[in-house]
């Protein structure tokens, strides 16, 4: 009798604990990270950040592959990647899907990155180079190492772009810990990656930068382009703070490296 009673009491206590925890879901969850604040009380995103993934090669999951110059062997070969697209599907319209395949087949010559064009948004974020965030109350400046690209995020009342540009027009606001940036007026001449993923002049990007720890941000970008895609789609990835004591952006102006690709066909041929 004593063993039966002991087992019954133990079972009852176990059930009571389970029910108590179920009624208090927050008790088992770690509190959300709260970033340090700037002078105006906003989350402090100042610093030098960098993505560490293979999204610039291909946003979607992909296997390792040979590079564009076979004589170089493994140099510039494509590293494998898990992908950063939600659901790993980019919802192309049929005609756009065909163009994407054509882009991919000849990407080494067609990719705007090979020509040192400014990368646009969101590609600037996950190129394999650092970028720096500088905050003020009225604006947030993002300066990218690649090609000296710069964008200014207006944090006041939303404004309209005077025209399309490589890096687009950015209006931002805060939603709690998250910086939300609405990007429009992007030129159609940029790609999303080296795999030939592209967009039109109707591209609309909404970015979300959310601190997740002292040295990491979560980056999300929702992409909408009714001329190219059947529905909006999203990418996400962590961004990491460069913590070296001498971390700084260096000059990487690549136009001179692309002169032969850009202007070689225009060179006058010798009459001899």
Residue 33, token pair as written in the block? 């990270």
DSSP state of 208: E
The pLDDT assigned to 12 comes to: 52
* Domain boundaries, position 134: 47-63+84-263
**CA nearest to 57, candidates 83, 19, 35:** 83
Is residue 137 a part of any domain in this protein?
yes
- At 38 the three-state DSSP class reads coil
Is residue 17 a part of any domain in this protein?
no
Is residue 39 a part of any domain in this protein?
no
Is residue 120 a part of any domain in this protein?
yes
The pLDDT assigned to 19 comes to: 52
The pLDDT assigned to 262 comes to: 82
**CA nearest to 127, candidates 191, 182, 71, 181:** 191
The pLDDT assigned to 5 comes to: 43
Is residue 68 a part of any domain in this protein?
no
Q: What is the pLDDT along the chain (272 residues), one digit of tens a residue?
A: 445 445 554 545 454 544 554 555 554 566 789 999 999 999 999 999 999 999 999 999 999 999 888 888 898 899 999 999 999 999 999 999 999 999 999 998 899 999 999 999 999 999 999 999 999 989 999 999 999 999 999 999 999 999 999 999 999 999 999 999 999 999 999 999 999 999 999 999 999 999 999 999 999 999 999 999 999 999 999 999 999 999 999 999 998 898 888 888 777 666 55
Per the structure, the count of domains in the chain is: 1
Cβ pair 242, 47 in contact under 8 A? yes
Within 8 A by CB and 6+ apart from 110, the residues are 103, 196
The pLDDT assigned to 264 comes to: 81
Is residue 226 a part of any domain in this protein?
yes
**Neighbouring C-beta atoms of residue 72, cutoff 10 Å:** 11
The pLDDT assigned to 67 comes to: 87
The pLDDT assigned to 272 comes to: 56
DSSP state of 79: P
**Neighbouring C-beta atoms of residue 231, cutoff 10 Å:** 7
Buried b (16+ CB within 10 A) or exposed e, 18-36: eeeeeeeeeeeeeeeeebe
Cis peptide before 122 (omega within 30 of 0): yes
Alpha-carbon span 17 to 189, nearest angstrom: 60
């Amino acid at each position: 009798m004593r063993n039966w009673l002991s087992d019954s009491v133990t079972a009852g206590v176990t059930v009571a604990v389970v029910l108590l925890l179920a009624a208090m879901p927050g008790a088992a969850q770690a509190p959300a990270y709260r970033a340090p604040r700037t002078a105006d009380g906003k989350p402090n995103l100042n610093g030098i950040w960098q993505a560490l993934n293979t999204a610039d090669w291909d946003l979607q999951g992909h296997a390792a592959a040979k590079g564009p110059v076979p004589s170089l062997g493994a140099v510039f070969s494509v590293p494998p990647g898990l992908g950063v697209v939600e659901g790993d599907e980019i919802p192309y319209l049929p005609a756009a899907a065909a163009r994407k395949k054509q882009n991919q087949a000849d990407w080494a010559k067609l990719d705007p990155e090979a020509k040192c064009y400014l990368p646009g948004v969101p590609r600037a974020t996950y190129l394999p180079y650092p970028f720096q965030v500088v905050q003020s109350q009225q604006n947030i400046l993002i300066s990218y190492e690649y090609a000296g690209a710069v964008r200014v995020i207006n944090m006041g009342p939303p404004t309209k772009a005077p025209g399309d540009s490589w890096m687009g027009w950015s209006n931002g606001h805060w939603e709690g810990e998250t910086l939300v940036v609405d990007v429009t007026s992007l030129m159609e001449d940029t790609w999303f990656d080296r795999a030939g993923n592209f967009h039109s002049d109707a591209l609309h990007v909404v970015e979300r930068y959310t601190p997740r720890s002292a040295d990491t941000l979560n980056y999300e970008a929702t992409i909408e382009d009714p001329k190219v895609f059947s529905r909006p789609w999203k990418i996400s990835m962590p961004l990491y703070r460069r913590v070296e004591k001498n971390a700084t952006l260096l000059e990487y102006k690549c136009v001179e490296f692309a002169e032969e690709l850009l202007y070689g066909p225009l060179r006058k041929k010798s009459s001899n």
